Amino acid sequence: MPLLILVILVGAILLIPKTAEGFVRGQAVTLQVESIEDFGCVLRSDAARAWNEMKSDAAAEGVTLTPKGPNSAFRTHEQQETMLAERPDYAAQVDHSPHQAGIAVDVDLTKSRALDWLLTNGPDYGWHPLSSSGAKKEPWHFEFLGAPT
């Protein structure tokens, strides 16, 4: 049984697994995941740490970075199947999505200055505006390519 992280939200308790079954280029992998604090979302641990640091630094500049919703970061196989069925022009093939690898966030761009801040500063944290999965380009889709050297 995987270890669980207990996250307490106002009026709710969520149990978030510390590991998750993800997929990288169609191959099942076990990911170490951590919370990014919004909607119960998690990412691969290194991506989550970079996201949380970036989010904190953006907030210090008055910019809010948050996912669009509960399926906007790591996705399970079943969640990606649903996304592909609902948005076939945008969603990557099941088990080939960077969301399933725990390295992608669909960012809520309705927050003031979020896109401009991410385009300017995101690469400093390893976050880039792209789609490595071959899905249609989405301006809200950012992927973690690793910490800059």
In whole angstroms, give the CA distance from residue 33 to residue 46. 8
pLDDT (tens digit per residue) in 92-149: 999 999 999 999 999 999 987 999 999 999 999 999 998 655 556 788 999 999 977 6
Please tell me the class of the 4-144 domain: alpha beta
Q: What is the pTM of this model?
A: 0.84
- Whole-number pLDDT of residue 148: 76
Tokens 């207990």, located at residue? 6
Residue ranges covered by each domain of the chain:
4-144
Judge whether 140 and 109 are in contact, CB under 8 Å: yes
35 SS3 class: strand
End-to-end Cα distance, the chain = 36
Give the pLDDT confidence score for residue 134 in this predicted structure. 58
